[in-house]
Structures are given as C-alpha cells and as structure tokens.
Structure 1
Amino acid sequence: MLSLFLSALNIQTFLIGIVVLLTVYKLRQRWQYKLPPGPFAWPLIGNYEVMQAKFLHDICAKYTKIYGPVFTIKLGPFQMVILNDINSVTEALVRRKADFANRPFMKSVDVFTEGRKDIAFANYTPTWKLHRKIAGKALRQYLAGNRLEEVVHSSMKKCLSLMAKENGPFDPENYIDLMVFNILHAVCFGKRFMKIENFTETKKRLIGRFVSDYVSICPTININSLNFRRKLLMLKCLCHEETFDCCNIRDFTDSLILARNEAEQDEEMMSQLTDTHLRQTLVDIFRGGIDTSRVTLYFVVRYMAGLPDIQSKVQEEIDRVVGKDRLPRIKDRESLSYTEATLHEAMRLGTVSAFGLPHCTLCDTQVGGYDVPKDTMVMINHWALHHDPNYWKDVEKFDPTRFLDENGKLGMKPESWLPFSAGRRVCLGETIAKPELHLIFAMIMQRFEITMPDGTNPELKLSGSGVIPQPAPFKIIVKDKKIK
C-alpha cells in the first residue's frame, strides 16, 4: 500500500515539475520577447475553448475582436501564432517571406512524406528550392498544349452523362469526387483510376484512403529497379474483389526526370534530390489537389443551385462565348469573365482550406508589431481574409461583380483574396487548379440547369469541422440542356 502511495506521489511530483518548468519557460519568453497576446492556455492541454470549437475560424473571429489580428493560441503541445488580416499576412509571406518559409516538425507527417522529401511539408532548404523548381518546370512541360484540357474533357463527358440520368433529387458529391479524382489520377498516373460505372460502390472506400495506402507502400519502390517509369504500383483495391489496374505514369515521370537532368546545379546538390523526391512530387499533386478541388466544386454547385439569377448569367455568357455545339476550352477563360468571377466568389465565401498548411519561423522575426521567436508555428487564417468587412462590401453576399472591372472583365486580384496562399510557399498546383476548376465549372453550367428540390432552404449551411469547412449535405435536381 505504501509503495502505491509513493508511486502516485512520484507521478504527481513529476507532473507538477513539468507544469512548473513550462510556466517558467513561458514567463522567460514573455520577458525576452514581445509576444502576440492570446487567451489563457492550460499547460499540456492548451486553450480548452479552441479545442471545443466546431470551426477554428469561428473562435478566431472572436479572438480577433479581443486581441487584434495577430494572436497566439495553443492546442495540446502546439503553440501557434494566427494571422487574421491581409496586412499581417503580407508582412509575413511577402516582406519577410524567407523568415516564415519553414514547416513545423510533426512525426506523422515525417513518416507520411518519407522523411519530408515532398514539397508541401519539407523544410525551406536549398534542396527544397531545387525540388520545387524542377517540379514546376515538369508540370509546365507536361501540361503544355492541350493535355490538361483533353484529360478534363475525357473525364467530364462521362461524368456529366451519368449525372444526366438522375431523374430526381440527388446529392452531387459522388459525381464531383469522381470528376476530380479521375482528372488528377490521369494527370499523375496517365489514365483514369477506375471504371466510372463502378464508382458508386467503391468511391467511399477509395477516395479517403488511396493516398495513405499508396504512400505506405511507396518506400518499397525504386524508380530504376522496378521500372517506375512504366508501372508505378499494383495496389489491392479496398473492396474485396476488385483490384487497381497498373498505373502507367511514363509521361509525367519522364517530365520530372528530364527536368531534374536539365537543372544546372552542382553534382552534390543534385545528389540530394533522390528518386524519393520525385515519387513524393506525384503524391503532393495527387494528395493536395483532391480535397481542395472537390470541396471548391461542391461549394460552387451548391451556390448555383440556390442562386438561379447568378446561374442564368453564367449560362448566358457560356452560351454566347462557347455556344452549344462544342465544349468549353481553356483558351475561352479570358472571354468567360463572369463565369471566372463566379468561381472566385465561391472560393471566397466557401474558403476550403481555411488555414492552409502551417508555417514555421526560420529565425527570430516580427509580424504585426510583435516578436515571433525561431521555430514558432504560424497559421494563416484565409477564412478571415475572405470575410474581412474592411475589404469586402456586404461580406456575406454572393456577388461575382466584385471581381470584375468597369468593363465587365476580370479585374486585378483583390488584395484580401488569397486561396492559394503567397510568398515562398504559394501553392505549387495553382497553375493546374485554376484552369481545371474553371473548365469543370463551365462544362457543368453548359450542360445543366441546377435547381434545389421544392421546400429546400436556399441558404448554405456549413458542415465539416476544424479547419476544413464544407457545405452541409444537400440535394439538387439537374435538367439536361442538351435535351430539347
């Protein structure tokens, strides 16, 4: 009995010691630096109110009113500075871009990215700079000409034909997921992922787990020894009886290898860019593009269903510029200004990546008049930027014209619109995502009139949680405009 008491006492003493050390460390930081303010945080636990919040952007809106646009919160062991207005974000990502260009270390991410040999989560190093440069060059080479357009047209024609068979109200999520999944799979791996007719049975089990399963097996592959250029992997399907086809990724992989070989760097630098880095480039593009693109389209379809006047203006522009006898093309974007503005407004109001990926400071630096010590995690509140009443008139109103100039053309990018981030860590896939999303949206609007079932509240409600909000589940009715 005495031994149990002493054990309990030792544990209690140990925990008290940790709390005291953390408190002393925090006070020392307060004396040494002018740190951003923030709510009280329990040692080891963090801010209980933040942990209980359904959406992080909601609680940050509350704290902005109390502490200003730059403040500190803590979630468990992670203490982070949150930037909530465009001035502080511009200072960090543009004027002090190198200071905030690192990524915080997280063990799960380190495993997932094979030692952070990807682009999205890797630290800001000379190797990372070369890796990103080569990946960007490979994407430009691979998608030159009409390649992206052909991939989108091929997938969309089949998906839209399936949607047209729906006779009553239905949730478009399955179709949108498959559109995006097939397009990205074709870009990265050279072919559509699966037979489109079977998607309703397999999608739920595949979409959410494909990337993690893919990455878990990736370390066993070697580009040279297993003919990586031709067949990436034979993966077992998550359904019991179906298997993945072998993925022919020769074209894009060759683009990556060619870009690497053409890079003008010394041998020591090039030796640091391994086949693992190339493999992780594919994972980055595939993993990074699925959720953001599909949820963006889910938002824009929901907005169009509840806003028939705006939908009709989009369709009138598409009918006038493109007509009904051919599919929209990427080169039509510059003439489809209202369509593009509508997509941009959906990306503003329905901010998919509310906080993006976390940044980390490379050195002691400053933002918003506060000190930010080295190795501090920093989060960009994109939701706050896109809902800031200081920059957006009638902030909750869906108004595409705010992106147009006096001539009805797409104007300069609004200052507080930052869906792809900025600075050294701007989204690598932005050059793919913009034309891809525009083309998908234009093809949906060209083909269908979208309405909501009778009695449905047209006001959009949010679902999801944490940092990834999305529309609450909804149903639509589509009328095929091709059928007279």
Structure 2
Amino acid sequence: MAFESSAVVVNSTSLTLVTITTVLAGMWIWSQQKPTKNFPPGPKGWPLIGNILELARNEKPAFVVFTEYAKEYGDIFSIRVGQRWAVVLNGAATIKEALLKKGVEFANRPTSVTIDLFTEGGQDIVFGQYSPSWKLHRKLAFSAFRKLATGDNKRFEKLVYSIIPALTANLDSKGSEPFDTRRVLASSIYNILASLCFGKQYEFDDPELTRLMYLSKEGNDIAGSGLLADYIPIFKYVPTPGQTKLKAIFKDFFSLVNKEVDEHREKYDGGEPKDFIEMLFQSRQEIKDEGKEDMSLITEAHIRQTVVDVFGAGTDTSIFTLQWCAGLMVQYPEVQAKVAEEVDRVVGRDRLPSLDDREELVYTTATLYEVMRYSTLVPLAVPHATSADVELGGYTIPKDTWVLVNIYSMHYDEKLWDDPKKFTPEHFLDESGKVRLHPEGYMPFSTGRRVCIGESVAKAELFLLFAWLFQHYKFSKPIGQEEKDFSEGDPQAALNMLKDIEVVVEKRF
C-alpha cells in the first residue's frame, strides 16, 4: 500500500510538472507570435514581460540600446513592452517618412492607465486620439498660441522678463557658493508659465507656486515610468500604491487649474485677452462665430487639459534644457565666452536681449540649438500609435500598435553630423556663417500631425533667457571639480536629464 501511495504521489507530481511545462511552453510560443506575418523583426522577449527585463538590466539607456538594435535588425524593428507590441523607428529618413508622408496613419497615441488618468480619458492635445474632436481641440489651442507667438514681441518679452528681478536677486545671493541651478530655473519657468496662463506672478518661495511645482514633479516622476497596469493590463483593477498616489496628485493638480479657469470665466468680458486662458476663451468664441465647426465637441475638460498640457509640456522641458545650457557652458568655457562676446557686441549691457536680435545673434542661436541636439531631452519623443494598418519599409504594422520614435538616432547619426558626440555649435552654422534652421537630422519638437504646437513659444522663451543669462553672468566649475564632466546625461524615465551638478555664478560687470 505504501508503494502504491508513493506511485500515486509521483504520478501526480509528474502530471503537475507536465501541465506547468505545457502551459509555460504555450505561453512562450504565444508570446513569440507576431501581430502580422510581415511584422518587423526584433529581439526575442519573455512571456508576460516581453523585452522589459533585458532593457532594465542594460546599463545603457533605452534610446542608445535601440540605436544599437537598429544596426542588427534595421531602422524598423519590434519589441514587446509587457504584453504589448511596439515598433521602434530609427534614422531621419524612416522617421520622416512615417511622420510626414504617412502622418495620419502614425498620428494616434497609445492608451494606458497612466495616460487615461492624466488626460481625463484622452481629453488633452498631447495624448488625445487623432479624431474630429482632437483636430478641433488642436485648432483652438493653436489659435491661442498664435495670438501669443505672432502678437506684439514686446508683450511676450515683457512676460518672460517679468521674472528677471527675482531671478537676479536669487543668483546674486549665491556669492561664490556652489549651487544646483535646477531649483532656481524651476521657480523661474513656473513663474513664466503661471504669468502666461493665469496672469499672476509668484514670489519664488510662494506656497502656491511650491505646491504647483511639487504636484507637477511628483506626477511626472510617477507617470514618466508608468504604472504596472500600463504593461500588464489586468493590474488596472488592482489599487497599487503608485496608482492610488497618482490619482490623488492629479486630483489636486486639476483642482488647482480648475480654480483658475473658473475665476477667469467669471472675470473675462470678451475684450483683449490678458493671458493664455483668456486667449483660449477668445479663440473658442471666434471659432464658434465662424459657424463652421461643431463646438459642442469642446468641453470644459478640453479647456482645462489645454492648460495642463502647457504646464506638463512647457515646464520640465524648459527647465532641463536651461540646466543643460548651464552645464555645457561650464564644461565648454570657450563657447560660453563666445556667446557672451556676441551678446555684448550686438545687444550691449544697457538693454535686454530682444527677439528682434535673433538674426544677428547667430552664434548664440546656434549654441542653443546645439544644446537641444546634444542633450536630446526627449530621446524617444512622445509615443505614437498607428491609427490604421500601414506599410512602412516593406513591413506591415497593424492598427493600434505602439510606435517609439528614436530621435536620438537622428541627433547622433554620424552620416548627418560631423562627430555628433562632440558638443559643437558650428553644427548649426553653414559655410556663410548663417544659422542652419532645419538640418536633416534635427527634430527636437517632433514633426507632422503631432508637432509641438508650442514650439515657437518655447524657442523664443529659451532664447531670451539663454541670451540674458550670459549677458549678465559667468558660470564656472566649483574649486576642486575642475576634472568633473559637467556634460553627462542621466536618463530618467522619458527624459535625458543632466547629471546633478553644482556651479558657481559670477556677475559680469
């Protein structure tokens, strides 16, 4: 009887092992099945998690790994992000064919739990799905931005320079002590955007400004890495700590924006708009008066989300770009000296740099563009998704496939840039000494249907602040850190941030 009992246990164990092995084998085979017969090739992944583990284990950031994969699999290849298939596009020719020549087919955005929370179900511009309501929403926002960007330059310059007194006091207070530029720059950029959107100015230590910065940073930190449910959908129904915290952060942030929108709605009388919210109200009324669009498609959530987009897209990118400016100017003092000399020669010291100076501030403009190329702050751009089945490069990519656009592969393409790993403002100067505005391998604001609608505003803001900073200050390395590299990236989530640095600032007299 003992023998028979042991045999039953062995047979039962064997059956369990066979069952587990069969299930795992089935999962493995299923996980390797491509969405279409002619789907792009790519590295094999694991069941359930796909290629996440190998990317996480790699010491190199994903955008560098993808550039290396392109050498093995071609400029179009596939990976699995959890249970989702994604296609990665590399190289200027491939990326521009997709986003320009086949812009509609690549105009959608991925859907995920994080995105749905942040956009109130896709009611924003950055992540909204390509649809009639999205196109109308974009038209509304673009109209408001156009009023800002193409209006009186002096009004925009006044808006940006409104933070100069506080910024000057902050920088002057540093003396010879090393400091992290990020906090100072963050307060400045948030103040500019608060003035732009809300028509109000904060003190650098104002509790409301501090709260706004905290909510934005915390939300971006969690959302940038994504929630577990974004990769394994079943976890959407599990109240994980990250999901719970993100919901609370977004609720507070939306409440703050709602308060401002409601107050503006009560006060706005239809006259000349004083800030971006009022520009949205005016543009909405103008489009409605034309009678060509169904304005019922635009809800209060769309207005709120447009303001959220401005903060989401306009704060971190500007802050971290200016931080890269400080780090690179410290690392390359000869470039900083040439920028300062040009600003002194063209603008002098008796007035502020103007947008009208851009044509003559050639080296300064080229340096700023090179900062954006070298840093490639958003190396994989905002993810796209296909709106329909599409053919690209001989492959078939089905509808609703995630698409990652590897901007880094363009900005560091040795065929398009002379020594791309070297910081060289001359990359953006032609033989006659003029600025190269649209080089083949340069695309910091994306292109096509999803090009950043705030590009002109962002470039203008960065130019004014960059020129002003080196008109009035000299940045350098702290004593004892002369050998430290102040131009190294520290990729985190979706951003290629500069490694934490401290600099010394000196007033130029």
- Relative to the length of structure 2, the TM-score reads 0.82
- For 1:45, give the aligned amino acid: I
**Aligned partner of residue 27 in structure 1, secondary structure:** coil
Q: Does the alignment pair 1:171 with 2:183?
A: no
Q: Which residue of 1 aligns with 2:242?
A: none
Give per-residue Cα distances to partners, 1:48-78, cap 9 Å, x unaligned.
Answer: 2113235111221321221122111122123
The answer to whether the aligner puts 1:152 opposite 2:160 as a matched pair is: yes
Deviations, residues 428-458 of structure 1 (Å, cap 9, x unaligned): 1102100000111011010111111233225
What does residue 479 of structure 2 align with? 454
After superposition, the Cα gap between the structure-2 partners of 1:410 and 1:268, relative to the gap in structure 1 and judged at 3 Å, is: closer
The 1-side partners of 2:193 and 2:424 are apart by 30
**CA shift in 2, pair 1:481/1:108, >3 Å:** same
Q: Distance in 2 between matches of 1:410 and 1:270?
A: 42
- The equivalent position to 1:108 in structure 2, one of 101, 104, 114, is 114
The 1-side partners of 2:64 and 2:56 are apart by 12
Counterpart amino acid of residue 455 in structure 2: E
Measured against aligned partners, the alpha-carbon deviations of 1:148-198 in whole angstroms (never above 9, x if no partner) come to 211211113321331122122222111111121111121111112x32256
* Distance verdict in 2 for CA 1:366–1:14, change over 3 Å: farther
Specify the code of the residue in structure 2 equivalent to 1:61: T
The answer to whether residue 146 in structure 2 is matched with residue 140 in structure 1 is: yes
Q: Equivalent residues in 2 for 1:316-465 (5 A)?
A: 316-456=341-481, 457-459=483-485, 460-465=487-492
What letter corresponds to residue 349 of structure 2 in structure 1? Answer: K
Q: 1:216 aligns with which of 251, 272, 279?
A: 251
Instruction: Say whether 1:479 aligns with 2:506.
Output: yes
Q: Which amino acid aligns with 1:311?
A: Q
The answer to whether the Cα contact below 8 Å between 2:185 and 2:319 also exists between their aligned partners in 1 is yes
Match of 1:98 among 88, 91, 104: 104
Corresponding residue for residue 263 of structure 1: 287
Contact 2:31/2:46 (8 A) holds in 1: no
1:88 and 2:97 matched:
no
Q: Does 1:189 align with 2:198?
A: yes
Q: Shift in Å at residue 464 of structure 1?
A: 3.7
Greater shift in the superposed pair: 154-163 or 338-347: 154-163
User: What is the rounded CA distance, in whole Å, between the counterparts of 2:258 and 2:185 in structure 1?
Assistant: 34
Find the aligned partners of 1:80 and 1:266 in 2 and give their Cα distance.
41
Q: Give the deviation of 1:469 after TM superposition.
A: 1.7
- Structure 2 counterpart of 1:229, from 254, 259, 265: 265
The 3-state SS of whatever aligns with 1:229 is helix
**Residues 195 and 16 of structure 1: is their aligned pair in 2 closer, same or farther, counting only changes over 3 Å?**
farther
Change in 2 beyond 3 A, CA 1:58/1:224 = closer
Superposed, 1:20-169 pairs within 5 Å as: 20=26, 23-24=29-30, 26-27=32-33, 29=35, 32-47=36-51, 48-54=53-59, 55-143=61-149, 144-145=151-152, 146-167=154-175, 168-169=177-178
Q: Which amino acid aligns with 1:59?
A: V
Q: Secondary structure at the match of 1:111?
A: helix
**3-state DSSP class of the match of 1:470?**
strand
RMSD: 3.1
Q: Partners of 2:412 and 2:58 in 1: how far apart?
A: 19
Q: Residues 323 and 498 of structure 2 are in contact (CA less than 8 Å); yes or no, is this contact kept in structure 1?
A: yes
Check 1:132–1:13 CA distance in 2 against 1; reply closer, same or farther (3 A cut): farther
SS across alignment from 1:334 = coil
Give the Cα–Cα distance (whole angstroms) in 1 for the partners of residues 348 and 419 of structure 2: 34
> How many matched pairs?
457
1:82 shift after superposition: 0.8
| Maintained 8 Å contact 2:195/2:275 | no
Inter-partner Cα distance in structure 2 for 1:277 and 1:334: 37
Indicate conservation of the 8 Å contact 2:215/2:249, yes or no.
no
The structural deviation recorded for 1:215 is 4.2
Equivalent residues of 2:353, 2:464 under 8 A apart = yes
**Using the alignment, how far apart are the partners of 1:388 and 1:222 within structure 2?**
44
| Contact 1:229–1:250 (8 Å) recurs in 2 | no
CA drift of 1:107 comes to 1.9
Q: What amino acid is aligned across from residue 50 of structure 2 in structure 1?
A: G
Query: Matched residues in 2 for 1:375 and 1:210: separation?
Result: 26
Report the Cα distance in structure 2 between the residues aligned to 1:429 and 1:225, rounded to whole angstroms.
Answer: 20
1:100-139: CA deviation from partner (whole Å, max 9, x where unpaired)? 0001111221122112110000000011111101111112
Unaligned runs of 5+ in 2: 1-7, 221-245
Q: Which amino acid aligns with 1:81?
A: V
Residue 71 of structure 1 contacts residue 83 of structure 1 at CA under 8 Å; is this kept in 2?
A: yes
Partner Cα distance (1:334, 1:19) in 2: 64
Identity %: 37
What does residue 315 of structure 1 align with?
Answer: 340
Q: Does the residue aligned with 1:98 lie in a helix, a strand or coil?
A: coil
* Corresponding letter in the other structure for 1:50: L
- SS at the partner of 1:174? helix
Deviations 1:221-241 (A, max 9, x none): 979995452589xxxxxxxxx
Distance (whole Å) between structure 1 residues aligned to residue 143 and residue 443 of structure 2 = 23
User: Which is further off, 61-70 or 272-281?
Assistant: 61-70
Please say if residues 138 and 256 of structure 1, whose CA atoms lie closer than 8 Å, have aligned partners that are also in contact: yes
Q: Contact 1:169–1:475 at 8 Å: present in 2 too?
A: yes
Question: Which runs of 5 or more residues in structure 1 are unaligned?
Answer: 233-248
Contact 2:347-2:353 within 8 A present in 1 as well = yes
Distance (Å, rounded) in 2 between the aligned partners of 1:421 and 1:378: 14
The answer to whether 1:252 aligns with 2:276 is: yes
Q: Which residue of 2 aligns with 1:241?
A: none
Query: Contact 2:90 / 2:405 at 8 angstroms: preserved in 1?
Result: yes
1:22 shift after superposition: 7.5
Q: Deviation at 1:250?
A: 6.6
For 1:436, the aligned partner's letter is: E
Deviation at 1:289, TM superposition (A): 0.8
* C-alpha contact 2:346 2:360 (8 A) present in aligned 1: yes
Q: Which range moved further: 220-229 or 209-218?
A: 220-229
Q: Offset of 1:357 from its aligned partner? A: 0.9
Deviates more, 1:279-288 or 1:367-376: 367-376
Instruction: Specify the code of the residue in structure 2 equivalent to 1:52.
Output: R
Counterparts of 1:474 and 1:221 in 2: how far apart (Å)? Answer: 32
One-letter code of the match for 2:415? N
How far is the alpha carbon of 1:267 from its aligned partner? 7.7
Larger Rg: 2
Q: Distance in 2 between matches of 1:388 and 1:293?
A: 24
